[in-house]
Amino acid sequence: MSQNSQDANQSKGSQSTGQNQGEGNREAAANFNRAEREFVDSPGGQQKIREGTHVKPGEDAELSEAERRAAERAKAQDSNRM
């Protein structure tokens, strides 16, 4: 890693070990999980959670159809495993 890249990471508050962790980057996952938990626990996150349960008028039929198709796919996949 170049010095400029290292400086940029440090200036962003990165606590990186400097090792490439590949796709299983535990540090990035921990940072994401922490930020996600902070958002969910925040007043804004709680508001988004409440808003997420509301279905707009006219969407209920579309959602029911999507659930029906998903159930059919799951049933077909389960029967293929036997």
Q: What is the pLDDT of residues 68-82, one digit of tens each?
A: 999 999 998 888 776
* Residue with the two structure tokens 């999980």: 33
| Strand ranges inside 8-81, DSSP E | none
Given a contact cutoff of 8 angstroms between Cβ atoms, the answer to whether 40 and 49 are in contact is yes
Total domains present in the chain: 1
Domain interval for residue 32: 23-81
Under the banding of pLDDT at 50, 70 and 90, the label for residue 24 is confident
Under the banding of pLDDT at 50, 70 and 90, the label for residue 7 is very low
pTM: 0.44
Is 51 domain-assigned? yes
Locate 56 and state its tokens: 């707009």
Is 29 domain-assigned? yes
